[in-house]
Amino acid sequence: GAVVSQHPSRVICKSGTSVKIECRSLDFQATTMFWYRQFPKQSLMLMATSNEGSKATYEQGVEKDKFLINHASLTLSTLTVTSAHPEDSSFYICSAREDRKNEQFFGPGTRLTVL
């Protein structure tokens, strides 16, 4: 149990295009999901907290118009990187906090490469 999936696992796109990444909790409900970004050999940096049915809360320095988050159901949150640039290339990881247990489970990550 407590599996979180992300799709796609890898994506390569051209500069200026938008990319959507999905995060799903497969066997539990998650009112709250988190989006992280990880650069090579570095830690996970929290980008935003996604709350089902309401607006996401962004961390300082993260542009909400650039990284659009939608959490339309208790099992799905999406992160859209709009007008992607090469500096947006990174590993994006989501986590979902199980409502019943207050425990976070992490997805396998999405490797984004912007050419």
Partner 1 sequence: GEDVEQSLFLSVREGDSSVINCTYTDSSSTYLYWYKQEPGAGLQLLTYIFSNMDMKQDQRLTVLLNKKDKHLSLRIADTQTGDSAIYFCAESMGGKLIFGQGTELSVKP
Task: Write out the two tokens for 46.
Answer: 């929290």
Determine the Cα–Cα distance for residues 8 and 84; give it in Å rounded to an integer. Answer: 16
Question: Residues in contact with partner 1, total (CB under 8 A)?
Answer: 21
Work out whether 16 is an interface residue with partner 1 (CB under 8 A). no
Task: Write out the two tokens for 102.
Answer: 């207050």
Work out whether 43 is an interface residue with partner 1 (CB under 8 A). yes
Give the DSSP H or E segment for 74. none
Among 28, 30, 33, 34, binds partner 1 (CB under 8 A): 34
Determine the Cα–Cα distance for residues 101 and 104; give it in Å rounded to an integer. Answer: 9
Closest to partner 1 by CB, 15 vs 42, is 42
Task: Write out the two tokens for 69.
Answer: 């988050």
Among 13, 20, 22, 44, binds partner 1 (CB under 8 A): 44
Return residues touching partner 1 (CB under 8 A): 4, 6, 32, 34, 41-44, 46, 49, 93, 95, 97, 103-109, 111
